[in-house]
Amino acid sequence: MKFDTPATTNPIDQLKIVGKPIDRIDGPLKTTGQAPYAYEQNQEVSGVAYGYVVGSTIAKGRIISIDTEAARAASGVISIVTAETAGPLGLGSMNTAKLLGGPEIDHYHQAIAVVVAETFEQARAAAQKVKVRYAKAVGKFDLVAERANAKLTNEGRGERLTGDFRTAYAAAPHQLDEVYRTPDQAHAMMEPHASMAKWEGDKLTLWTANQMIDWGRGDVAKTLGIPKASVRLISPYIGGGFGGKLFVRSDAVLAALGARAAKRPVKIALPRAFIFNNTTHRPATIQRIRIGCTPDGKITAIGHETWSGNLPGGKPENATQQTQFMYAGPNRMTATRLAVLDLPEGNAMRAPGEAPGLMALEIAMDEMAEKLGIDPVEFRIINDVQVDPNAPERPYSQRQLIKCLRDGAAHFGWSKRSAVPGKSRDGRWLVGMGVGAGYRGNPVAKSAARVRLDAAGKVTVETDMTDIGTGSYTIIAQTAAEMMGVPIDKVIVRLGDSDFPVSAGSGGQWGANSSTSGVYAACVKLREAVCKAVGFDASKAQFADGRVAVGKKSLSLGEAVGPKGLVAEDAIEFGDLSKKYLQSTFAAHFVEVGVDAATAEIRVRRMLAVCAAGRIINPKSARSQVIGAMTMGVGGAIMEELAVDTRHGFFVNHDLAGYEVPVHGDIPHQDVIFLDEEDPISSPMKARGIGELGLCGVSAAIANAIYNATGVRVRDYPLTLDKLI
**CA dist 624 → 9, 471, 618, 661 (Å):** 29, 9, 10, 18
Nearest to 693 by CA among 298, 343, 322: 322
Among 265, 507, 636, 694, contact with ligand MOS (rule: CB under 6 A): 507
Is the distance from CB of 350 to CB of 695 less than 8 angstroms?
Answer: yes
Among residues 78 and 355, whose Cβ is nearest to ligand MOS? 355
**Which of residues 58, 71, 113, 246 is near ligand MOS by CB under 6 A?**
246
Q: Is 357 in the site for ligand MOS (CB under 6 A)?
A: no
# of chain residues touching ligand MOS (CB under 6 A): 10
Cβ at position 68, least distance to ligand MOS in Å: 36
Considering only residues 589 to 608 of the shown chain, the ones binding ligand MOS according to CB under 6 A are none
579: exposed, middle or buried (Cβ count in 10 Å: 0-12, 13-18, 19+): exposed
Binding string to ligand MOS for residues 180 to 219, with x set by CB under 6 A, is what?
Answer: -------------------------------x--------
- 692 part of the active site: yes
Q: Which residue number, 356 or 594, has a Cβ lying nearer to ligand MOS?
A: 356
Q: Choose, from 362, 569, 641, 692, the residue flagged as catalytic.
A: 692
CA dihedral 386, 389, 393, 394 (to 10 degrees): -70
- Closest distance to ligand MOS from the beta carbon of 688 (Å): 15
In degrees and rounded to multiples of 5, residue 417 shows phi and psi of -75, 135
| 182: region left, alpha or beta (phi > 0 left; psi from -120 to 50 alpha) | beta
Helices (H), 56-146: 69-73, 120-127, 143-146
Cis peptide before 21 (omega within 30 of 0): no
Could you tell me how many helices (H) and strands (E) the chain has, helices first? 17, 32
Calpha distance 217→235 (Å, rounded): 11
Smallest distance, Å, CB 314 to ligand MOS? 15
Whether 52 and 113 have beta carbons less than 8 Å apart is answered as no
**Residue 347 C-beta: closest distance to ligand MOS, Å:** 8
CB of 362 to ligand MOS, least distance (A): 19
Pick the piece of the chain touching ligand MOS (CB under 6 A) from 307-315, 344-352, 588-596, 621-629: 344-352
CB of 78 to ligand MOS, least distance (A): 35
Chain centre distance of CA 80: 34
Q: Which is nearer to ligand MOS, 350 or 615 (CB)?
A: 350
Q: Give one DSSP letter per residue of 629-683, joined into a string.
A: HHHHHHHHHHT--PPEETTTTEES--STTTS----GGG--EEEEEE-----TTT-
In the bound state with ligand MOS, the residue whose beta carbon lies nearer, of 348 and 481, is 348
Apex 285 CA angle, 294 and 153, nearest 5: 85
By beta-carbon proximity to ligand MOS, the closer residue of 115 and 348 is: 348
Among the residue ranges 91-99, 225-233, 349-357, 600-608, the one whose residues contact ligand MOS (CB under 6 A): 349-357
The C-alpha atoms of residue 543 and residue 564 are separated, in whole angstroms, by 20
Measured from the CB atom, the residue of 81 and 246 that comes closer to ligand MOS is 246
Pick one of 51, 192, 243, 694: the residue that binds ligand MOS (CB under 6 A): 243
Closer by beta carbon to ligand MOS, 82 or else 211? 211
Q: Return the amino acid letter for 314.
A: G
Cβ proximity to ligand MOS, 241 vs 346, nearer residue: 241
Q: Judged by CB under 6 A, which of 350, 399, 525, 688 binds ligand MOS?
A: 350
Please choose, out of 111-119, 284-292, 346-354, 572-580, the segment that lies near ligand MOS by the rule CB under 6 A.
Answer: 346-354
Nearest to 339 by CA among 283, 290, 289: 283
User: What is the rounded CA–CA span in Å between residue 588 and residue 590?
Assistant: 7
Cβ at position 329, least distance to ligand MOS in Å: 28
Chain residue whose CB lies nearest ligand MOS: 243
508 binds ligand MOS (CB under 6 A): yes
Q: Does residue 348 bind ligand MOS (CB under 6 A)? A: yes
Phi, psi of 683 (to 5 degrees): 180, 170
Given 130, 224, 349, 453, the residue binding ligand MOS (CB under 6 A)? 349
Of 69-77, 95-103, 338-346, 347-355, which segment contacts ligand MOS by CB under 6 A?
347-355
Cα(41)–Cα(208) distance, integer angstroms = 9
Q: Provide the β-strand partners of residue 592.
A: 433, 606
Determine if 445 is a binding residue for ligand MOS (CB under 6 A).
Answer: no
Closest CB to ligand MOS among 265 and 356?
A: 356
Of 280-339, binders to ligand MOS (CB under 6 A) are none
Distance (Å, rounded) from C-alpha 17 to C-alpha 544? 12
State the nearest-atom distance from the C-beta of 241 to ligand MOS, in Å: 5
Closer of 209 and 531 to ligand MOS (Cβ): 209
Question: What is the DSSP track for 29-46?
Answer: HHHTT-S--GGG--TT--
Minimum distance between the CB of residue 144 and ligand MOS, rounded to whole angstroms?
Answer: 25
Phi, psi of 313, rounded to the nearest 5 degrees: 90, -5
Shortest distance in whole angstroms from residue 692 CB to ligand MOS: 6
Phi-psi region of 562 (alpha: psi -120 to 50; beta: other; left: phi over 0): left
Residue 352 engages ligand MOS in binding (rule: CB under 6 A): yes
Residues 37-76 that bind ligand MOS (CB under 6 A): none
Residues that bind ligand MOS (CB under 6 A): 211, 241, 243, 246, 348-350, 352, 507-508
Residues tagged active-site: 692
